[in-house]
Amino acid sequence: MQTATTLNVPALSHSGLEAAIQVVANDEYGERRSGHIASERALTVYLDKREILTLMTMGTEPELLVLGWLRNQNLVPDVSHIKAIQVDWETESAAVTTFGGVDGLDKKLEHKTVTTGCGQGTVFGNLMDNLDKLHLSQPRIAQSLIYRMLDNLNDYNEVYKRAGGVHGCALCQGDQILHFVEDVGRHNAVDTIAGYMWLHSAAGADKIFYTTGRLTSEMVIKVAQMGIPILVSRSGVTQMGLELARKVGVTLIARAKGKHFMVYNGVDSLDYDAMPARRLEPSLAE
């Protein structure tokens, strides 16, 4: 039996699909118009020839999606244990092979949680497993950096601008966008970035994670597992997402758009160095 080493890098197919397809639809006046809609395909994941689950995905970076999903599910302890990920769209399958099988796979697959979100995500095992072992850094973040990062993100969201129907996630370092992913579900986009980080041995302590989707418990757990201490969203926060952010120490910033944002956890880590002029509310006498 071949033993995995830290030098092993999985052999990946390169089977990305086009993000959007062109279609014709009728508008409110009955006129035919050409436009785009987001791609969506089923991708069934097989781990050492065992069927695990089916992901609904846009399919632009399917190998990284599967790699990140394996990481975030804690099914494989290290990327060096994975021999290959081969995606075949004719059979709508992703075949993952390891160097020696997965210890305790049956037990890991016993408990399944279907999470909230577009297309619904699936988490195997207890959602709270390993949270107590996480130790995140607590970096400071400047208000002006948040504004610059949001400005830089305006250059992305290409599929959303053309077709709608997708969520975007970004891995950022300072105000720079290192990797941006769009998919039909935010859980797919975050898993794809997790796969990118795992493949490139990228640390999370000095990174910021941005998403267009709401900050649920699943999002907080996945970002914390990636070692990223700051999570920013254009959307809102759920109760459990906030509770878990407080538990693991993730700085949680939501409703972030333009010059507006709300800090739900970790306000002590923010430097308010670019406060916009406060809008004056009209008095009752006026």
pLDDT at site 55: 94
Q: Over 80: is that where the pLDDT of 160 sits?
A: no
Which domains, and CATH codes, for the chain?
Answer: 11-23+31-129 (3.10.20.10), 141-271 (3.40.140.10)
Q: State pLDDT tens for residues 61-115.
A: 999 999 999 999 889 989 999 999 999 999 999 999 999 999 888 887 876 544 4
Q: At what angle do helices 186-199 and 217-225 cross, to 10 degrees?
A: 0
Cβ burial, residue 237 (10 Å; 0-12/13-18/19+): buried
pLDDT at site 283: 52
Q: Are 190 and 180 in contact (CB under 8 A)?
A: no
Cβ burial, residue 155 (10 Å; 0-12/13-18/19+): exposed
What is the rounded CA–CA span in Å between residue 9 and residue 57? 24
- Report the chain's mean pLDDT, rounded to a whole number: 87
pLDDT at site 10: 94
Q: Are 54 and 46 in contact (CB under 8 A)?
A: no
- The separation between the first and the last C-alpha atoms of the chain, rounded to the nearest angstrom, is 81
What is the rounded CA–CA span in Å between residue 73 and residue 280? 48
Q: Over 60: is that where the pLDDT of 179 sits?
A: yes
What is the rounded CA–CA span in Å between residue 284 and residue 108? 61
Considering 1-5, 33-37, 226-230, the range whose residues carry the highest mean pLDDT is: 226-230
Q: Over 60: is that where the pLDDT of 1 sits?
A: no
The DSSP annotation for the chain comes to -PPP-TT---EE---PPPSEEEEEEE-TTS-EEEEEEE--EEEEEEETTEEEEEEEE--SSHHHHHHHHHHHTT-SS-GGGEEEEEEETTTTEEEEEESS--TTHHHHTT-EEEPSSTT--EEES-TTTTGGG-------EEHHHHHHHHHHHTT--HHHHHH---EEEEEEETTEEEEEEEESSHHHHHHHHHHHHHHTT--STT-EEEESS-B-HHHHHHHHHTT--EEEESS-B-HHHHHHHHHHT-EEEEEEETTEEEEEE-GGGEE--SPPPPPPPPPTT-
pTM of the model: 0.86
